Chains A and B, each alone.
Chain A
Amino acid sequence: GAVVSQHPSRVICKSGTSVKIECRSLDFQATTMFWYRQFPKQSLMLMATSNEGSKATYEQGVEKDKFLINHASLTLSTLTVTSAHPEDSSFYICSPRVQNTIYFGEGSWLTVV
């Protein structure tokens, strides 16, 4: 079956640095990618939607200059958290969509110290 690979699964970074999270679809091409954020004991909140080759559309309240999303190919999308702060510590999940099927990555725990 289809597999989505998200890396890193866990990352710790220092405040002020940037960290990149990759989401790869291993055996299908995803035209649309959704990025979600999940705080502890909370639900998944949509951050942004991206289409291959286009700029991402961000949800209200999500800083586009802080959370850089690149969807340069149909099999790879990246989320870069720039100038990370402790409040950015969270669980980030990618969700590629192809045809009428929704997939999820394994998620990435980000801890900013």
Chain B
Amino acid sequence: AQTVTQSQPEMSVQEAETVTLSCTYDTSESNYYLFWYKQPPSRQMILVIRQEAYKQQNATENRFSVNFQKAAKSFSLKISDSQLGDTAMYFCAFTRGLTGNTPLVFGKGTRLSVIA
């Protein structure tokens, strides 16, 4: 079974600074998909970034980028120029496929606080 581990329950960062959230996963699949989701106090799940395992290039979305190390099974999220609105829970998630009955498996989450 696939597992996702987020070893940082809580983190804080000063506004405008950069922070990196860690995520490791375990799978025997060769192709899969990784995600970072943001969950603000509203509890709405918001997709931050997505990475296909077969793509070597790290995904980026504006201030958000990932460091995907397939051999190490590591998928960290870097948030640059942190903003107060980035304060939220961040979940790393894995799925072995985007078709059929393949659900997302979530890590336990990292609570990020951006401090003014």
Interface residues in chain A, defined as those with a beta carbon under 8 Å from any beta carbon in chain B:
32, 34, 38, 42-46, 49, 51, 57, 91, 93, 95, 97, 99-102, 104, 106-107
Interface string of B25-69 (1 = CB under 8 A from A): 000000000010000001111010000000000000000000000
From the candidates A43, A95, A102, name the one contacting B108 in the complex (CB within 8 A).
A43
Cα distance A99–B98 when bound, in Å?
Answer: 7
Question: Given the complex of chains A and B, what is the CA–CA distance between A104 and B47 in angstroms?
Answer: 10
Q: Is the interface of A mostly helix, strand, loop or mixed?
A: strand
Please give me the 5 A-B residue pairs with the lowest Cβ-Cβ distance, nearest first: A100-B98, A104-B45, A43-B106, A49-B101, A107-B43
**Interface assignment of B91: CB less than 8 Å from any CB of chain A:** yes
A51 to B43 alpha-carbon distance, docked (Å): 25
Question: Is there an interface contact between A95 and B101, defined as CB atoms closer than 8 Å?
Answer: no
Question: B44 — which chain A residues lie within 8 A by C-beta?
Answer: 104, 106-107
**A91 CA to B39 CA in the complex, in Å?**
13
Minimum C-beta distance from A61 to chain B (A): 14
Measured between alpha carbons, how far is A67 from B95 in the docked complex, in Å? 24
Q: How far is the CB of A57 from chain B (nearest CB, A)?
A: 7
Contacts of B42 in A (CB 8 A): 106
